[in-house]
């Protein structure tokens, strides 16, 4: 097969922001260093971006600290904070085409997905939390004695937010939404693979009226800029989405100042299909569950458990649908799957394909590269996978599905839970009692029944076990950005 994208894009979106955003100003990094961000469909350089490190984080934390300790943001009428957040959502919506194109260019995801999925979800999240801004209140508590006791919920302070590259715009919304509603100020580091849309959103936040210093963005690498955020004593809380290995490093480093932490990490989610399910819906769910976002989802349904009785026929369908998936140029509206984000991810995924073969799984379809340029991988299905194989245990973060067979429900639950992860799971059945029973017994933060990848800003999301702690979205997602203060007043 020839290359997927044959020409350099002349009609790409404008690249407007490539510098650090600190205290409302665009600045080069203090070191003067930059890093390249590439188009994963063509492997060509998109832009040079200012590379922040500890010195820049220092400036950003100072700005965020000032904005929190003395600035208007935590002090303004809560409803006004909500209005500014709504304005930000409106500005994003007005630029949805440009932002979707920028996201597709930097990340490789189909522009149609960014336009109809990521950005609408991000808007929803910002608007949902805008609605919370004036609804964060405490309680009065009837304590013993002649006292008036009440609680206040106050912003936790300066939030350090470190996000990954798989959903750059959406991750910004998930992090900024609750932090801004609570009255916190922010130092954010976008992933080094995908800094561009986060910087654009910072510009729009300023236009919406977010005061200087409330949102600061320091692009750069994890061990330098990221670690500086985690270690800085001026940061009160760190919210991190990424890999478990990095979370362990962060947790150790955050210990020095006992920083509050929330982690949203990886998964190896079981997607369970019983013989009595609506098999059309289940096959579509298996497809979306693994392939959405090129398989680069922490909640990907990467272990497909299929009941013995329907196994062969069902797998045939899954394989056929995988073969017909359209892999191609993210800017072609017909494309369903773009390239993986970078060479490191591409190599890692191909390594797992090799491991699956070596360990004796059957490669039912895919397993190869698409084209000679860009990080495109064929939709890939392994059958005859055994629980102990690497492809059944480890997060691949790519378009590679492992199919496992089951017959008994108790055995199924044991196997589905036999993982250090616990982010998500799904079950497909027409038996209502069984659906709820399995949902209850699965050790995962989200269980979808007869659906997959259904997200809503109001519904909490996060992991059991090593998939993280704390929750994002919903009222629960606000909690990590708030402290509770108890005030007791003598009435004597
Ligand atoms: P992935 O493997 O998906 O890239 P990472 O956990 O490496 O996941 O990266 C997620 C985010 O964490 C990125 O923004 C990355 O730069 C950042 N990061 C990586 N290492 C560190 C670190 N030691 N301290 C803080 N942030 C880090």
Q: What is the mean pLDDT of residues 8-36?
A: 92
Nearest residue by C-alpha to atom 17 in ligand 1: 222
pLDDT of 86 strictly over 80: yes
Residue with tokens 């979370």: 247
**Which phi and psi (to 5°) does residue 467 adopt?**
-85, 0
pLDDT score, position 344? 98
Instruction: Give the residue-averaged pLDDT of 100-129.
Output: 98
> Looking at residues 107-126, what average pLDDT do you find?
98
Tell me: pLDDT of 8 over 60. Answer: no
* Distance from the alpha carbon of residue 246 to the mean position of ligand 1, in angstroms: 6
Task: Report whether residue 193 contacts ligand 1, using a CB cutoff of 6 Å.
Answer: no
Alpha carbons 377 and 106: distance in angstroms, whole number? 17
What's phi and psi for 320, nearest 5 deg? -60, -45
Q: Mean of the pLDDT values across residues 234-261?
A: 97
- Is 240 in contact with 246 (CB distance < 8 Å)? yes
Distance CA 410, CA 263 (A): 30
Between CA 17 and CA 441 the distance in angstroms is 48
Look up 58 and say whether it is catalytic.
no
pLDDT level of residue 2 (50, 70, 90 thresholds): low
- Per-residue tokens: 315: 């797998």
Confidence class of residue 4 from pLDDT cuts 50, 70 and 90?
confident
Catalytic-labelled residue, pool 298, 307, 378, 472: 298
Closest Cα to atom 13 of ligand 1: 191
Put simply, whether the predicted model's pTM sits higher than 0.95 gets the answer yes
Q: Report the percentage of the chain scoring pLDDT > 70.
A: 98
Per-residue model confidence as pLDDT tens digits over 379-432: 999 999 999 999 999 999 999 999 999 999 999 999 999 999 999 999 999 999
pLDDT confidence band for 487 (50 / 70 / 90): very high
Q: Which protein residue has the closest C-alpha to ligand 1 atom 9? A: 242
Q: Span 359-381, mean pLDDT?
A: 98
For ligand 1, pick from 221, 222, 267 the residue to mutate: most ligand atoms within 8 Å of CB: 222
- Note whether 282 and 481 are within 8 A (CB): no
What atom of ligand 1 comes closest to residue 190's alpha carbon?
Answer: 14
Catalytically annotated residue among 51, 95, 103, 264: 264
Closest residue to atom 14 of ligand 1, CA basis? 191
Mutate which of 37, 51, 191 to test ligand 1's pocket (most atoms within 8 Å of Cβ)?
A: 191
Terminus-to-terminus CA distance in the chain, angstroms? 84
Please indicate whether residue 164, judged by its CB atom, sits closer than 6 Å to ligand 1: yes
Q: What are phi and psi of 215, to 5 degrees?
A: -120, 125
Residue 12: per-residue pLDDT: 85
The pLDDT of residue 1 is 44
Tell me the residue ranges of DSSP E strands in 372-453. Answer: 380-383, 400-406, 424-428, 446-449
261 ligand 1 Cβ < 6 A: no
* Residue of 54, 107, 164, 254 to test ligand 1 pocket, by largest number of atoms within 8 Å of CB: 164
Q: What is the pLDDT of residue 305?
A: 98
Residue 462's Cβ-side half-sphere holds a number of Cα atoms within 13 Å equal to: 19
CA of 105 to the centre of ligand 1 (A): 21
Average pLDDT over residues 278-297: 98
Which is more confidently placed, 240 or 7?
Answer: 240
Q: Is 226 in the pocket of ligand 1 (CB under 6 A)?
A: yes
- 321 carries an active-site annotation: no
Can you read off the two tokens belonging to residue 244?
């478990």
Rounded average pLDDT over 303-321: 98
297 close to ligand 1 (CB < 6 Angstrom): no
């Amino acid at each position: 097969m020839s290359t997927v994208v044959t020409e350099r894009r002349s009609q790409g979106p404008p690249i407007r922001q490539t510098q650090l955003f600190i205290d409302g100003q665009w600045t080069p990094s203090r070191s003067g260093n930059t890093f390249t961000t590439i188009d994963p469909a063509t492997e060509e350089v998109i832009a040079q971006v200012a590379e922040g490190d500890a010195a820049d984080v220092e400036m950003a934390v100072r700005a965020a600290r000032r904005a929190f300790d003395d600035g208007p943001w935590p002090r303004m009428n809560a409803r006004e904070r909500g209005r500014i957040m709504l304005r930000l959502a409106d500005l994003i919506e007005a630029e949805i085409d440009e932002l979707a194109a920028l996201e597709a260019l930097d990340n490789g995801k189909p522009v149609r997905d960014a336009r109809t999925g990521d950005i609408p979800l991000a808007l929803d999240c910002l608007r949902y939390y805008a609605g919370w801004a004036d609804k964060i209140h405490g309680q009065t508590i009837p304590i013993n004695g002649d006292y008036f006791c009440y609680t206040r919920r106050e912003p936790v302070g300066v939030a350090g937010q470190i996000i990954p590259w798989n959903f750059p715009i959406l991750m910004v919304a998930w992090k900024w939404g609750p932090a801004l509603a609570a009255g916190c100020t922010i130092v954010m580091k976008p992933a080094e693979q995908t800094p561009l849309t986060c910087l654009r959103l910072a510009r729009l936040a300023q236009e919406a009226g977010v005061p200087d210093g409330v949102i600061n963005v320091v692009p750069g690498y994890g061990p330098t800029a990221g670690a500086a955020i985690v270690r800085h004593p001026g940061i009160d809380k760190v919210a991190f989405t990424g890999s478990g290995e990095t979370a362990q490093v962060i947790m150790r480093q955050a210990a020095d100042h006992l920083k509050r932490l929330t982690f949203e990490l990886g998964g190896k989610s079981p997607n369970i299909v019983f013989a009595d399910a609506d098999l059309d819906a289940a096959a579509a769910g298996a497809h979306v569950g693994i392939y959405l976002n090129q398989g680069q989802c922490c909640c990907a349904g990467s272990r497909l458990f299929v009941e013995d009785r329907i196994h062969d026929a069902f797998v045939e369908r899954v394989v056929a649908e995988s073969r017909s998936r359209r892999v191609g140029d993210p800017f072609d509206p017909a494309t369903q799957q773009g390239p993986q984000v970078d060479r490191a991810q591409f190599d890692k995924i191909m390594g797992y394909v090799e491991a699956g073969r070596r360990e004796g799984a059957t490669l039912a379809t895919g397993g190869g590269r698409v084209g000679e340029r860009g990080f495109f991988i064929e939709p890939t299905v392994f059958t005859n996978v055994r629980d102990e194989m690497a492809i059944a245990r480890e997060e691949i973060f790519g378009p590679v599905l492992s199919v496992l067979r089951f017959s008994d429900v108790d055995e199924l639950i044991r196997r589905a839970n036999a993982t250090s992860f616990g982010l998500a799971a799904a079950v497909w059945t027409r038996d209502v009692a069984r659906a709820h029973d399995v949902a209850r017994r699965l050790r995962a933060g989200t269980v979808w029944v007869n659906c997959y990848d259904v997200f809503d800003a109001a519904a909490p999301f996060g992991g059991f076990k090593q998939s993280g702690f704390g929750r994002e979205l919903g009222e629960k997602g606000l909690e990590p950005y708030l402290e509770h203060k108890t005030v007791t007043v003598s009435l004597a």
